[in-house]
Structure 1
Amino acid sequence: MDYQSPRNFLPIVLFALMMLLCANYTVSAQSDALKKIIKKDYDFSKIGAMHVDLEFDFEENRRKTLALAKTNHWKLSEVMKDGTKVALQEIGTDGSPLYYETYSDNASRASRANTLHANGIMDLNLDGSGMQVGVWDSGVALTTHQEYDIRAVIGDGSKEIDNHATMVSGSLISAGIKKEAQGVAYRAKVLSNDWSRDKIEVATAAANGLLLSNHSYGIKTDRVPDWYFGSYIKVSQDWDRIMYNAPYYLMVNAAGNAQKRNDNLDPIAGNSADGFDLMLGFTLTKNSLTVAAADTKIARNGDLKSASVSAYSSFGPVDDGRIKPDIAGDGSSIFSTASYTNNSYGTSSGTSMATPGVTGALLLLQQYNEQLYGTYMRAATLKGLTLHTADDVAQPGPDYKLGWGVMNAKKAAELLLNRDYGSLIEETTLEEGETFSLTVSANGLEDLKVSICWTDPESDYINRGSLNDTTAALVNDLDIRITQNGIDFYPWKLDALYPNAAASKGDNQVDPFEQIEIANAKGSYTITVTHKGDLRYGKQDFTLFVSGAVLTDCVLSAPEGAFLSDAKENEISVQWDPLLDALYEVQYKKTTDKVWHTHYTTEPGITLDSLEVDIEYVFRLRTFCSQNIASAYSMEYLFAFLGENTIVGPLEAFETLELASEINFSVYPNPAVEYIGLHEETSESARYSIMSLSGTTVKNGAAKNAKISVADLAGGLYILQVVDDHGKRSAKFYKQ
């Protein structure tokens, strides 16, 4: 019988694959309800067709690879003297053997993920509970290690236990039985797989709701021709196709450790010793997040004190000028789990170890977004959020060594919390021929920063052997501009021909992430997003990020001027002075009850119902300026409900708990960096409280002559309240 390609049976195979893709992949990604949210917009006919192609290409290439390996006496796998594992993965379009290698030379603090943990600076108690992350590596993790409990499982049936995979998995999910080995997402689950069928397995897992996967390996740099470096090749195209068809899925991969190896003798600019143009394969995909390694120093409050690229971390650029790597984490001397025994540990360095530190932080940000808004971010939103909030290093703007800078999960979490109040994160779609436009006002406290990010379709063009080919891989070229008084502001861009030069500003025609920064911004600005040429499929989803702007007229202060009126048989109305753009929360209860009745309204008044005659009640108010940003509560007002026809006037006409009205006062310095003080004297008994905008008390103590340290607080707005013999007073201040 003649051999026939599986593509000849496409309708049958597609049906079978769609059934497979709708089933769980070993361990379900997140909850079933949230998986449905992830998958509801997926086109499973496209995913199925992609899966058929990946399977066919794998089988064809594997046959060719094994035949050429036998003819040319190529090793299928080996372990190098330094412990690095190497395996022949496939044959390139030019016939070159492509070997995978692990990116370790022998992660939580650098990414600021520790600030999101319980007892961290932000005290968000994020730990990865209920979340899952995929790990593909040279083997699978030792799932019985004491740090994993039952939270590590093998996804693909592989039986080769691997130390590198175990260390990477430990950096992600170790429980912290040995404290210094605690993973970034220390209660999450790992789905561990070997790298032999990585694209096929990831495509299946992503179609079933997997959000993130970690890949701390790549093509071995000393066994390919020089034209491979910086090139968009078939491997890059395949991974971009996977991510475009599963838009909630983000691949996170290591940049590589080839900076000093002089493997590229003909880089796109300069010479081999400069270390540029050393990345290749899937590290150069448009849609993934590629992680460099940095040596960092982090202050106790989470601020980056210093950072420099590690001596081994591979530099970009992509030959078409794209910015790679994207982001940096710390990969130096990371202590993690080892595979020798169920309670063994080890230390390793490399972009292999920087990558899970970033991946784990991304998982926590997805967990936080779900807590705040009940859903997960699209991959472009998560990637864009990460790049938008990264700590810039050295020269302003991005570079080809550390990308957009060192990851800062604390800033990213703050941007999520302040969404629609102090920041804007909007997932939207640009239709063919349309223009997106938005006008914002700068807040005057920080630079205005605006970014867009999108998951771009895979390019039809792949390099098949041209040295330093600058053909752009970008398919849908979106453009962001900011305009004020006829002056246009442009995004950052880099030039591959001058890889050591500082970033400039202009028309970026190659990157699926664009960012504009305006220092000392004042007044109103108009943001526009357009596109060049035709959009593949007639539209392009993208996410817009804005920080440093005033997005609402809402004022974060408790409503004032409350009074009661219109008493009826079992209800009474309460009204207060209106505030702009506010949502009000009203709570009331019997004085003897522990549970509040809670109502929400956009009107400056509401009816309290189900009241009982001759019973004392207490109520309080607060203002919401966004879904998760609220003022502190007002004073608690006490009143006795006397029933229908009660003569009702101001609250003072009732038996009211006499609390003095809040008296405004000021603090200094404002904005604050290290400490704040009061502009007036307080009594010996005075106490202060500092509250976040969500109403959580983050500090308190004696207020008499207080010099209050705020160095350990996250940046943002806070409310200082002082209570003494004069009553309760409050003031807002901004922590830089």
Structure 2
Amino acid sequence: MLTTYNLIYRKSSVLILLLFVFLATNVVTAQTSQERLKIAANNKKTELANFKSNLVSDYALERTHLKEVAKLNNWKIKETLANGKKIELQGIGVDGSPLYYETYSDQAGLVSRASTLNTDGLMGLHLDGDGMKVGVWDAGVALENHIEYTSRVTIGDDNAEVDTHATHVTGSIISTGLKRDAKGVANMANVVSHDWTRDKIEVTEAAADGLLLSNHSYGIKADRVPDWYFGAYTKVAQDWDKIMYNAPYYLMVTAAGNAQKSRDNLEPTYGKTADGFDVLLGFTISKNNITVAGANSKIDGNGNLKTADVCTYSSFGPVDDGRIKPDIAGNGGAVLSTDAASNTSYETSSGTSMATPGVTGSLLLLQQYNKELYGAYMKAATLKGLALHTADDIDDLGPDYKMGWGIMNSKTAAEVLNNKDFSSHIAEETLENGNSFSFDVTAEGNETLIASISWTDVQSSFINSGTLNNTTAALVNDLDIRITKDGQTFLPWKLNPAQAASAATKGDNKVDPFERVEIPNANGTYTITVTHKGELVNAMQDFSLIVSGVAMTTCSINAPEVGLDETEMTTVKLAWNASEDALYEIQYKEVHQQEWSTEYISVNNFSWKGLLIDTTYSFRLRTFCSQNIASEFSEVATFTFNGENTELETLHALNEDSNIPFSVYPNPAVDEIQLNVKTSDTTTYRIMSTGGVALKMDKASDARINVSDLPSGLYILQIQDADVSKSTKFYKY
């Protein structure tokens, strides 16, 4: 059975509804108790409750057994190593190996581009995590009264030890920025801090109650396990996948580890031990989480990635079944953050432990932004898919086993969210057993069409119990995405674990719960189809679809030109050229009134009733092409109502040159543009991306604007003075 959607067509009434939803909800962005209840309502409550009960029972038995075996073998339960790092015996493997947790530590927000979302950031979005909550599990708990986040940390384990590493991680996410370079990615968010002792039990409970994200900058110590553990899908990975499957809004973010140069795996799936491949362990190998690598990166002032490479310590994949792990990379080098020595102390640290909170905080801001734009949070599969869809590709095209899909790019991710239904598509869908899902999109030849699917997969019934490099796929429900046009099929990226150092190829991906197809310079109409292999467990699979680089509407964002269509005794009818799929906002008033009256209409005319003879009125109009994408307002037009003799006038607030067509020179520009009209002390400018994102704004009183800090590309310049807006496009070399 084929379900088909044509996303080029959309009724204006839907746009009106979306706009009013936006107007009603965009000021409420915190994760309230009501929102957590709403998320919790989507959880599989019985499964989570039963799983937690089993975990609690197993934990009590395991701790007793752990102490007995540790005493028998003279193993230390807790230990502080010579370098100050804390480790703790957390379990015993199926083969009797001691499983120790260790922290992965040797401005995070800059590399992930989360700083562009913050207040005073490049995008002007004022996203700082206000009222949002994130969980941090670590070797201990954060110093609760540090001046950088006093009152925004809640301790979840009353008897846990305060830990430097946990304090550092927490600060990387939520520090206010009293010390500027230590500012956290989401510097107004809240953290619930736990130690790692009962992590699965506590996360199961928190996820059931609506927790969106948790940070885990620790994992199994690599030098105390046999080689078969590396890359193996074990019970710990299965347990975490089960939590996330049953709580579809919850996403675990974990550090990849620092074992690249450890030479602990003597029999990797690829290459020699010294090459550093196949050293991922434990829950880093889960399917549904995000595993974060460490990167050394340079970002310019506009949020553009200039250079990047993987940190020399960051653990490489692949995992045994060939999945793409790590998933993504963040800044892992020399991160300054809070320290537990005192409530005013700071420390610099490196490692994938430091890269991970930068990604976690970025994901939290994207959840906040989606709530601000659309009144709801994304499912975890959507959030993960968005991060992987928009990551900055490094080196060869496609993913790799060192940094996954590339460097986290919060700026691009936020733009894709903002441009939903205009140049991008984001949807949470369900594929039923035996069905397929298909729709058409249009690309205009100047961008890369990217389409991806992401899903939270059922935990695998298979777990490795001791087989070296077992290639059995952990994937349960195998979905596939394809793009077709004129008989040609475009396939997703995939990696080959037998050639782990080689570039990605395109083909049938049978192991990853995320697939991404790319078509550079796409032009014309394409069909995107999602299918599945075999029988779907539970007879269905939810998935998230993200598409960018397309024209989701034929609506024009040019300001409409308005004319008087007809007049009657007390009424004028205004009319303008129709734009397909558009919603219009008309503002009108008696000329001396301070406030505009506003109406939203889907037709290209407006009857203005109740007018008085010899009274002067003003109006202006703009076009909405999606919930967040609109044209500038038309110039303010005025008329003195004289019945059938009424004629339009135009206010000229930009001085006597207003009749001159507005333009800039030189165009293309290098460092500066000049306006061809005079400006006043009240004139302001705004430079926007072609996707409608504001990049710069300031006064334009000297008719010159510095654009040297903009990257090469096409931009929209808007000039505003009093009630007049003018716009033009320019290209920056």
Confirm or deny a common fold (TM above 0.5). yes
2-structure distance, mates of 1:476, 1:669: 56
Q: Are 2:648 and 1:651 aligned?
A: yes
**Contact 2:260–2:314 (CA<8 Å) still a contact in 1?**
yes
User: What's the offset of the Cα at 1:466?
Assistant: 0.5
Which stretch shifts more, 64-73 or 241-250?
64-73
The superposition leaves residues 153-194 of structure 1 with CA deviations (integer Å, 9 ceiling, x where unpaired) of: 102323311010000000011111111111111100010000
CA contact (8 A) 2:255 2:292 kept: yes
Aligned AA (2:618): V
2:109 alignment partner in structure 1: 108
Equivalence for 1:278: 279
**What secondary structure, in the 3-state scheme, does the structure 1 residue paired with 2:291 have?**
strand
Equivalent residue for 2:404?
403
The alignment status of 1:373 with 2:378, answered yes or no, reads no
Q: Which residue does the alignment assign to 1:598?
A: 598
Alpha carbons 1:253, 1:288 under 8 Å: kept = yes
- 1:664–1:375 CA distance, 2 compared to 1 (3 A): farther
SS at match of 2:306: strand
User: Separation in 2 of the partners of 1:424 and 1:210?
Assistant: 26
One-letter amino acid of the counterpart of residue 682, structure 1:
N
- Residue 118 of structure 2 aligns with an amino acid whose one-letter code is H
Q: Is 2:731 aligned against 1:730?
A: no
Partner of 2:470: 469
Name the amino acid aligned to 1:581: D
Give secondary structure in 1 for the equivalent of 2:523.
Answer: coil
Q: Which residue of 1 aligns with 2:140?
A: 139
- What is the TM-score when the length of structure 2 is the normalising length? 0.90
By how many angstroms is 1:723 displaced? 8.6
Contact 2:673 2:707 in 1 (8 A): no
1:682 to 662, 676, 690: 676
- Residue 488 of structure 1 pairs with residue 489 of structure 2: yes
CA shift for structure 1 position 594 = 2.9
CA contact 1:323–1:398 (8 Å) conserved in 2: yes
Is the alpha carbon distance of 1:707 and 1:591 closer, same or farther for their aligned partners in structure 2, counting shifts above 3 Å?
Answer: closer
Closer, same or farther: CA 299–605 of 1 in aligned 2, 3 Å = same
- Alpha-carbon offset, residue 602 of structure 1: 1.1
Q: CA deviation digits over 1:44-73, x for unaligned, max 9?
A: 122212222222222232222122112212
Return closer, same or farther for 1:252/1:626 CA change in 2, 3 Å cut-off.
same
Whether the aligned pair in 1 keeps the contact of 2:217 and 2:356 (CA below 8 Å) is: yes
Q: What residue number does 1:519 align with?
A: 520
Letter of the 1:592 counterpart: H
Listed as ranges, the matches of 1:287-366 within 5 Å are 287-366=288-367
- Is the Cα contact below 8 Å between 1:477 and 1:510 reproduced in 2? yes
Cα deviation, residue 675, structure 1: 5.4
CA 1:623 to 1:254, structure 2 compared with 1: closer, same or farther past 3 Å?
A: same
Contact 1:477 1:512 in 2 (8 A): yes
Question: CA separation in 1, counterparts of 2:309 and 2:222?
Answer: 23
Per mean C-alpha deviation after superposition, the further-off stretch among 44-53 and 244-253 is 44-53
> In 2, Cα distance between the equivalents of 1:429 and 1:235?
28
Equivalent residue letter for 2:179: K
* CA shift in 2, pair 1:609/1:477, >3 Å: farther
Indicate conservation of the 8 Å contact 2:123/2:693, yes or no: no
**Partner SS for 1:34:** helix
Q: Is the 8 A contact 1:444 1:521 kept in 2?
A: yes
| CA separation of 1:723 and 1:154: change in aligned 2, threshold 3 A | closer
Structure 1 residue 41: deviation in Å? 2.1
What corresponds to 2:383 in structure 1?
Answer: 382
Aligned-residue offset at 1:607: 3.7
Contact 1:567 1:648 (8 Å CA) reproduced: no
Deviations 1:586-623 (A, max 9, x none): 11233333332221111112344676676533221111
Amino acid at match of 2:629: I
Look up the equivalent residue of 1:74 and give its one-letter code: W
Change (3 A) 1:590 1:53: farther
SS in 2 for 1:510: coil
CA deviations 1:660-682 (Å, max 9, x no partner) are 99876776898x7955758xx83
Match of 1:541, SS state, is strand
Q: For 2:561 and 2:30, locate their aligned partners in 1 and report how far apart those are by CA, in whole Å.
A: 47
Aligned-residue offset at 1:426 = 1.4
Question: Is the Cα contact below 8 Å between 1:103 and 1:218 reproduced in 2?
Answer: yes
- Residue in 2 that maps onto 1:171: 172
Q: Does the 8 Å CA contact 1:301/1:714 hold for their aligned counterparts?
A: no
Task: Give me the whole-angstrom Cα distance separating, in 2, the residues matched to 1:717 and 1:673.
Answer: 11
Taking a change above 3 Å as real, the CA distance of residues 565 and 648 of structure 1, as seen in their structure-2 partners, is farther
1:626-665 superposed matches below 5 A:
626-641=626-641, 646-647=643-644, 650-652=647-649, 657=651
| Aligned mates of 2:198, 2:250 — CA distance in 1 | 18
| Unmatched segments (≥5 aa) in structure 1 | 1-27
Letter in 2 for 1:618: S
**Contact 1:431-1:539 within 8 A present in 2 as well:** yes
Higher mean C-alpha displacement, 60-69 vs 697-706: 697-706
Residues 565 and 574, structure 1, Cα contact 8 Å, conserved in 2: yes
**Counterpart contact for 2:567–2:646, Cα < 8 Å:** no
Alpha carbons of 1:702 and 1:74: their partners in 2 closer, same or farther (altered >3 Å)?
closer
Is the 8 Å Cα contact of residues 662 and 730 (structure 1) preserved in structure 2? no
Post-superposition Cα deviations, 1:85-138, rounded to whole Å, max 9, x if no partner, equal 100111222222211000011x01110111111221112111110101100000
Counterpart residue number, 1:53 = 54
Aligned counterparts of 1:319 and 1:307: Cα–Cα separation in 2: 27
Alignment-mate amino acid for residue 539 of structure 2: G
Q: CA deviation at 1:567?
A: 4.5
What residue identity is the alignment partner of 2:729?
K
Q: Is the 8 A contact 1:664 1:729 kept in 2?
A: no
| Matched residue, 1:16 | none
Q: Is the 8 A contact 1:673 1:735 kept in 2?
A: yes
Q: Tell whether the 8 Å contact from 1:582 to 1:623 is kept in structure 2 after alignment.
A: yes
Give the partner amino acid of 1:492: W
Shift of 1:441: 1.8
Amino-acid identity (%) = 54
SS class of match (1:599): strand
Inter-partner Cα distance in structure 1 for 2:279 and 2:324? 13
What are the within-5 Å matches in structure 2 for residues 256-271 of structure 1? 256-271=257-272
Tell me which residue corresponds to 1:19.
none
Query: How far did 1:392 drift?
Result: 0.6
Contact 1:451 1:514 in 2 (8 A): yes
Is the alpha carbon distance of 1:722 and 1:636 closer, same or farther for their aligned partners in structure 2, counting shifts above 3 Å?
Answer: closer
- Residue 651 of structure 1, CA deviation: 2.5
Letter of the structure 1 residue corresponding to residue 621 of structure 2: L
Deviations 1:501-521 (A, max 9, x none): 110110000000101111222
Q: What is the count of residue pairs matched by the alignment?
A: 696
Partner of 1:184: 185
Please give the alpha-carbon distance, in whole angstroms, between the structure 2 residues aligned to 1:618 and 1:492.
Answer: 55
Is 2:663–2:676's contact at 8 Å kept on the other side of the alignment? no
Secondary structure at the residue paired with 2:522? coil
CA RMSD of aligned residues (A): 2.7
**Contact (CA 8 Å) 2:640, 2:647: kept in 1 or not?**
no
Structure-1 residue corresponding to 2:536 = 535
State the structure with bigger RCO (CA 8 A, min sep 6), 1 or 2.
2
**Residues 225 and 388 (structure 1 numbering): CA distance in 2 closer, same or farther, change over 3 Å?**
same
Q: 1:707 to 1:130 in 2, by over 3 A?
A: closer
CA distance in 2, matches of 1:76, 1:648: 93
* Cα 1:158–1:608 shift into 2, 3 Å: farther
Q: Is residue 206 of structure 1 aligned with residue 200 of structure 2?
A: no
Q: What is the alpha-carbon distance in structure 2 between the residues aligned to residue 309 and residue 694 of structure 1?
A: 33
Separation of aligned partners in 1, 2:712 and 2:214: 29
The offset of 1:39, in angstroms, is: 2.4
CA distance in 1, matches of 2:483, 2:606: 42
Q: TM-score, normalised by structure 1?
A: 0.89
- Shifted more, 469-478 versus 551-560: the winner is 551-560
Cα distance in 2 between the residues matched to 1:695 and 1:270:
45
Q: Secondary structure at the match of 2:243?
A: helix
Amino acid at match of 1:306: T
The answer as to whether partners of 2:81 and 2:87 remain within 8 angstroms in 1 is yes
Cα 1:581–1:102 shift into 2, 3 Å? same
